[in-house]
Structure 1
Amino acid sequence: MPAKVCYERCSRSRCSCCCSHFSPAPAALSQAICSSTHQESVFARMTRMLLPARTSPVRIGLAVFALGLVLTIPLLLLTTSWRRGSHVGDTDSELTGLSSFWHLGDASRKFADKPAEFRQPFVYAPLDTEFIDSNFDRLKLALSRSPMGKYQAHVDVLMTERRPQINTDGWRFHTPSGRNLTLAGLQAETYDRNYTTPNLAHFILPFQDPQLAFHHFVCILSGFWVMRPQKLVLWYMKPPSGHYWELLKTNITAPVWEQRIVMIQRPVTQKIYNMTVKVKEHQADVMRIEAVLLLGGVYLDLDVITLNAMEPLRKYQFAIGKELPTVLCNGVFSGAPNNTVLALWHLSYQTFDDASWGGHSLYVIGDICKHFPGHCHIEEDSLDRPGWINFGKMYGEGDRTWDWQTKNYAMHLFYRLYGVQHDLKSIRTVNNTLGDMFRFILFGRKEPFKS
């Protein structure tokens, strides 16, 4: 026990004397032994201080508690530091100049604390180019049989590109506070190995008048509170404003707002491939396809109210609902990033006719799903019904019979056909299915309040 005896006689400033007892050991080994003797002595001193010869059970308990704190606090600090360091998506550079599907994200960003598959450039899943190439003639056949407008007879001439071309010039990904993000960072952060489709909800905010209406406010809140997405993605051209925008921020607390909301500013689509897009609804049609094609998740129109969690749909590469028995609806759909159906749908816009209402947004996607049924899951009535053909089931006075709590993941309200603008006060007494659903989101109850 020479080292221990020596250490008891000397002070910390004379450490070399105790190490000399272990000569001729190498210096590094001597220092290590010396250090261990210090540690033993410190522990011994703590033991003697806390546990004298006659020690009560209370003092033993205090000693164990103190030792636990000494060991636990450094571990907590290290864990907190690692978590802060592993946050992905933050970068000082904006996502600019990307002209094709294959250039995703900013290659300068390094995810050193992530596995190799998460490092830049991150691709959630590769585009199945082999399938697209081998089935391109089949896609053209589907388009030639689809009532899509004046270019139906010119499919062979117009369909030249076999890879989706998405021009991301002028796009900016950021948090509500303005911290810049990257596309690749968002893909990496929202990757979920348990599901095919990531848990994102996309809304395109009004790009002509940036003020939110009351029903926009309720539908966005429903997407956040009911679907519980990892990220709520708000696409916009002009910064949103108005009373209901401020109310939306108030109802999603500040820390959650910053952590869970992603803002993406982008120009409104004016051209896709060689086709001009001027009708605002058609511009939004293109923007929603590109949103889900790049990031994945669920797209919802601003008049789609979320009524149940959508986890069952996330196991599919692509899922969409029916507006009519034979017509699909693009008001709400889900998909994995880079999935085949969305890629084919985007490629079909090489034959786009801006004068054809619903040609590509409704009929083309229906024909794509008919020709590629293994890649497309169709919900009969859980995403869009009862629909505009059963208008009274949503808006009829006194009609509260539609069982939306068990039938629907979401409901497309076709609100512009209704036209009545409610507010937080008037919605309390509205006696129809719309009133029930809005009250459920806002107040947690279906029944009308007494006037």
Structure 2
Amino acid sequence: MADVTSRQGILSPSSHLISPLMFFVEEDSCDIESKKYYLIHRRGKTKIFNNFTPIGGSDWGFQSTVHCMDVNETTLIKSNVEGEQLSPGCSNKDVHLETKNHSKTTPVFTFPDECLKRVITKFCTDDLPVPNIVHYIWIGKQEFEFIYFVSLYSTHKNQKPCLFFLYYDVLPSGKWWGILSKIVRNIVYVKITPPTEISGKKIKWVQHKSDILRLRILKEYGGIYFDTDQYVLRSLNEFRNKDCTLGMAQDDAMASALLIAAKNATFINLWIDSYNSYDPNHWGGNSVVMARKLSLRYPQYVRVFEHHCLFSIHDKFFYDHNQNYKWSHSYGLHLYGKRERWKEVQKWNLLTIRKLNNTIGAVFRYILFGNKELCN
């Protein structure tokens, strides 16, 4: 089983009563949309971001159609491939990022790796505490579906990371992985053995293995961790200016599908230390629940955004037809509830999303075609 299974509150996914969808013209920040649905008891507005430009246009009701790009698997590859494969490496005296023909053998690293530390320091470090590198974990033998392709492609397109790390025990497979690996030319392959126990206790769930791995990775290298169903709508660079940044999910738990941290960040170390009391039977105890407790106990070590523009809204707004959650101020969305709708999710592709009249259809079109409108 791959590290792609959503959960209520962890890898990240609540049940709320949902009022009928309303469209709001006020656009001060993303909490205008999200808090009116879930956090009405927290009155007041907060100016959260600087130099903020809303995305997605003004029509949020599927009232118009546009001529969409003629995109298929072949044209997608041709229009996105630039240059040769980047390949990191080290010698005793040198660190390099070589360009190689895609057909040549790509090096595979292990974790942790001192060479990769040196590569990140030389090529991916700027004046911000968090390097612009991204991390994905893929555990288990499972086909790489279209929804995961769009997730990783959105990061490639909108975050433009220096390096794109994939930690895996079995490489992803399937058509969409083949397409992604041709488009994204800076993937660093890291073979891992998922942990089986911690603090003397057997790890029960694959999601818990991922929880532990992502913290160890961020401690070692820093960067931005993404779940494989987290979608990036705009650059996250403004969040790289603090040692650790987290956000809240819609159920007031900490969201773990997106973590932003500097190497050896104090909050990440505290979070790792909390696994001394690991409870394998508590689904989110050491992940989203513990992260929230730690953030309240040690606010000086973490920046927490108590709104949803980094993460997600209730899963109802992803799937229900003729509804489009207004994500004009969102940085990213996390796809909750997909396992309960897996038959529906598996029908999504470059053709079917063109007329998919719900939030996820609009988000996917925005990422892949450059606009959110229904295709005519």
Q: Secondary structure at the match of 1:247?
A: helix
Q: Aligned letter for 2:202? A: T
- What CA deviation, in whole Å up to 9, does each residue of 1:353-376 have, x standing for no partner? 111010011111111111110111
Tell me which residue corresponds to 2:222: 296
Q: Tell me the residue number matched to 2:315.
A: 391
Contact 1:297–1:335 (8 Å) recurs in 2? yes
Secondary structure of residue in 2 paired with 1:431: coil
8 Å Cα contact 1:198/1:314 also seen in 2: yes
Question: Structure 1 residues 89 and 425, CA, compared in 2 at 3 Å: closer, same or farther?
Answer: closer
Aligned residues with identical type, % of pairs: 25
TM-score, normalised to structure 1, is: 0.58
Matched, 1:90 2:19: no
Per-residue CA deviation, residues 306-357 of structure 1 (Å, 9 max, x unaligned), is: 0110011100111111113531111111000100010111111111011101
1:403 counterpart = 2:336:
no
Written as runs of structure 1 = structure 2, the 5 A alignment for 1:270-285 is 270-285=196-211
- Counterparts of 1:185-196 in structure 2 under 5 Å? 185-196=118-129
The answer for the alignment partner of 2:300 in structure 1 is: 374
Which residue identity is paired with 2:243?
Q
Which runs of 5 or more residues in structure 2 are unaligned? 1-85, 97-103
Give the CA RMSD over aligned residues. Answer: 2.2
Structure 1 residue 190, shift from structure 2 partner: 4.4
Give the alignment partner of residue 234 of structure 1, picking from 156, 166, 171: 166
Relative to 1, partners in 2 of residues 1:352 and 1:268: Cα closer, same or farther, differing over 3 Å? Answer: same
Counterparts of 1:161-180 in structure 2, within 5 Å, are 177-178=106-107
Aligned-partner Cα distance in 1 for 2:272–2:191: 20
Indicate yes or no: 2:171 matched with 1:248: no
1:435–1:88 Cα change, 3 Å: closer
Provide the residue aligned with 1:267 in structure 2: 193
Alpha-carbon distance, 1:438 to partner: 0.5
Q: 1:212 aligns with which of 144, 149, 160?
A: 144
Contact 1:200 1:297 (C-alpha < 8 Å) held by counterparts: yes
TM normalised by structure 2 equals 0.69
2:306 maps to 1:323: no
1:110 to 71, 93, 114: 93
- Candidates 197, 202, 205, aligned match of 2:130: 197
Are 2:199 and 2:277, in contact at CA under 8 Å, matched by a contact in 1?
Answer: no
The structure in which a higher percent of residues are strand is 2
Relative to total residues, which structure has the larger helix share, 1 or 2?
Answer: 1
Q: Does 1:437 align with 2:363?
A: yes
State the 1:424 CA deviation. 1.6
Question: Does structure 2 retain, via aligned residues, the 8 Å contact 1:176–1:262?
Answer: no
1:89, distance to aligned residue in structure 2 (A): 4.7
Task: Report the Cα distance in structure 2 between the residues aligned to 1:240 and 1:289, rounded to whole angstroms.
Answer: 22
**Structure 2 letter corresponding to 1:309:** S
Pick closer, same or farther for the CA change 1:193–1:208 going to 2, 3 Å: closer
- Tell me, yes or no, if the aligned pair for 1:199 and 1:230 is still in contact at 8 Å: yes
- 2:204–2:281: 8 Å Cα contact kept in structure 1? no
> Does residue 307 in structure 1 map to residue 307 in structure 2?
no
Higher Cα Rg: structure 1 or 2?
A: 1
Residue type at the aligned position of 1:346: I
2:335 is aligned with what amino acid? L
What SS does the aligned partner of 1:368 have?
A: helix
| 1:115-144 deviation per Cα after TM superposition (whole angstroms, max 9, x unaligned) | xxxxxxxxxxxxxxxxxxxxxxxxxxxxxx
Is the Cα–Cα contact under 8 Å of residues 215 and 272 in structure 2 kept in the other structure? yes
Q: 1:112 to 1:293 in 2, by over 3 A?
A: closer
How far residue 282 of structure 1 moved from its aligned partner, in angstroms, is 0.7
Q: Number of residues paired by the alignment?
A: 275
Q: Partner letter of residue 233 of structure 2?
A: L
2:232–2:332 Cα contact (<8 Å) kept: yes
Letter in 2 for 1:271: E
Structure 1: unaligned runs, 5 residues or longer: 1-86, 93-108, 114-174
Letter in 2 for 1:110: K
Cα distance change on mapping 1:324 and 1:310 into 2, 3 Å: same
- Secondary structure at the aligned position of 1:324 is classed as coil
Within-5 A mapping of 1:101-140: 109-111=92-94
The 3 A distance-change label for structure 1 pair 364 and 176 is: farther
SS at match of 1:329: strand
Distance 1:279 1:196, change over 3 A: same
SS state of the match for residue 90, structure 1? strand
Distance 1:290 1:370 in 2: 22
Number of the residue aligned with 1:426: 352
Bigger CA drift: 300-309 or 271-280? 271-280
Matched AA of 1:90: G
Shift of 1:268: 1.1
Task: Decide which moves more: 297-306 or 265-274.
Answer: 265-274
Higher RCO structure (Cα 8 Å, ≥6 apart)? 2
1:358 aligns with 2:357: no
Structure 1 residue 263: deviation in Å?
A: 1.1
| Equivalent-residue separation in structure 2 for 1:323 and 1:374 (angstroms) | 21
Contact kept in structure 2, 1:392 and 1:399, CA below 8 Å: no
8 Å CA contact 2:87–2:188 kept in 1: the answer is: no
Partner in structure 2 of residue 145 of structure 1: none
